[in-house]
A and B are shown apart, each in its own frame.
Chain A
Amino acid sequence: MVQTVVPFGPQHPVLAEPIQLELTLEDEVVVGVVPGLGYVHRGIEAETERRPYHEDLPLLERVCGICSVAHAVAYAQTIEALAEVEVPRRARLLRLFWFELTRIHSHLLWLGLAGDAIGFEALFQACWRVREEVLDLFTITSGNRVIIGVTALGGVRRDLPDSIQPIVRDGLDSVERGLAGIRPLALENEAVARRLAGVGVVPHADAIELGLVGPTVRASGVAADVRNARYGAYDEIPAEIMVETGGDALARTVVRWREIQESIRLCREALGRLSGLRGPLRTRVPTVLRGEATGRVEAPRGELFYYIAADGEKHPTRVRVRTPTFANIPAVIRMLPGNQMASVPVALLSIDPCLSCTER
């Protein structure tokens, strides 16, 4: 059969960011995929090697506007391991609170985009309306809607006083009520299920072999989640790991939906432990470091990995950032062959690709 090569992207309605998939088709069926990157690569890794450690934090926070808290915490944890300092308990709980709030808004953002991609505008609007309430919580607690800048080396830069806890708790209640309204649209809707079920399947064995991460691997029946390592405050507030076995776009949707509920619980738990807790917000970190260390966090899209080498100067020798999407791109190569061309946008979107992270 004659093969046709079709460029998918770099500009495509379902993706706000540029990536190109070079699709090889036989009739309407995908038989080969080559992903192409580099349309917005920013060289942030290289730039960090020219700046002092504390200046790298806000820079790395801007790797991604959606999961900026994840990058900040991952970088900070790696530096804290290099400096061999311990983060105060109050700061660890605050990091967990803002981190889980990030997961809620990220998953809602994705679910809305998924609704948009399958032509379900009502789902898109409902998700983003509720997400707006999460962003309001960011504003109340940090002053910003995105890139909230609360993380510091050795702790956090802002506190969450007991006086605003009632407002935050009311906000979480409101988000939960909003989710109850979305549930019939997202999980109990036949049109959604028919559009997502069986699309972009990654079998269990492939997910392990390719080293996939986040909801993408958990939807293939693998209970991999960095929070299992009990970093930060997850040692005192463990997260329940959500796993589905379908391996398709629908399973990834269900995993993210259940994670939103779990993140709300974790936020409430953190607030409960912060209430009445006194203590410092940060530990001092030296400006000159030597050695090497790694740091891992469970970002909304999966494992975010940092490696830093330091040679006793005021700036790092090497900062390596492995983002979740970078780990999940091989899934695209495995999941698309056999799919109809028309399913490619949904399948690609189902891994929640973040090109901003990938093009760091």
Chain B
Amino acid sequence: MPTLPDCRTVAQDDLIDEAQKLHDFGWRLITASCVPRETGRTVLYHFERDEQLTHLRVQLALDGSVPSLGSVFGGAFLVENEMAEMQGLAVSDLAVDYGGRLYRDFDGPEGWTHEATGATSILEAAGLTRLDACVPVVGTGEVRATTTHVPSGPARDGDNGHSGQEG
């Protein structure tokens, strides 16, 4: 079974120190990957130097968090905001904190502005994800419903996929 070569597991408390060491030795942060699992999350930080790769792995419980690497790598804030928003990863001390609105939620009551208001969007209130809003409705049922939560009740004319949830 292939595994990532040159990959070390570090504790979240040691992450900044380890990243700082890599930075000092000329490594570049490529990006980070967050893998949600049933028992927690795996966060991988990928680095490159002279076309060689190395990786830091952090294993987290479901409620675990990681510190931002923004103080070490200036470009880290974007992927950290993305992991926070897309995978629900808690990242502390973000240099630029989008407050969960890096990818703007046009279905939310706040409209297109990205001010973090603490409000809950219609989709979130209905227990849906953004993908659910993309599921087409034909007749009274959704076309593809094997992997997404299906709202109960018949669809009405003009519904866009989250029928009966407007409120």
A and B from one assembly?
yes
Write the residues of chain A forming the contact surface with B, with a CB cutoff of 8 angstroms: 34, 36-39, 41, 43, 45-47, 50, 81-82, 84, 206, 208-212, 226, 228-229, 290-294, 296, 303, 305, 307, 309, 317-318, 320, 322, 326-327, 329-330, 334, 359
B140 vs chain A, min Cβ distance (A) = 24
**A211 and B75 form a contact (CB under 8 A):** yes
**Given known A228-B51, A307-B46, contact A293–B4 (CB-CB < 8 A):** yes
> Shortest distance in angstroms between B67's beta carbon and chain A's nearest beta carbon?
18
B99 to chain A, nearest CB (A): 12
Please give 13 more A-B residue pairs, beta carbons under 8 A apart, in addition to A82-B2, A290-B1, A303-B30. Answer: A39-B104, A41-B130, A43-B130, A84-B2, A209-B74, A211-B75, A212-B75, A292-B2, A294-B46, A305-B31, A307-B46, A320-B31, A329-B78
B53: chain A residues within 8 A (beta carbon): 294, 296
| Cβ-defined contact, B130 with A292, below 8 A | no
Do the beta carbons of A322 and B79 come within 8 Å of each other? yes
Contact B104 A292 (CB under 8 A): no
Which residues of chain A are near B147, meaning CB under 8 Å?
50
Q: How far apart are the CA atoms of A211 and B29 in the complex, in Å?
A: 6
Known: A38-B102, A210-B74, A229-B51. A305 touches B1 (CB 8 A): no
Q: Check A330–B33 contact: CB distance below 8 A.
A: no
Taken together as a complex, chains A and B put the C-alpha atoms of A45 and B34 apart, in Å, by: 12
- Contact A322-B2, Cβ < 8 Å, known A41-B103, A210-B74: no
Q: Closest Cβ of chain A: how far from B164's Cβ, in Å?
A: 23
Would A43 and B134 count as touching, CB distance under 8 A? Answer: yes
CB distance from A168 to the nearest CB of B (A): 30
Cβ contact within 8 Å between B104 and A317 = no
The reply to whether A36 and B114 form a contact with Cβ atoms under 8 Å apart is yes
Chain B residues within 8 Å of A47, by CB: 131
6 CB contacts below 8 A, A to B, read A37-B103, A38-B103, A41-B103, A82-B2, A318-B35, A330-B77
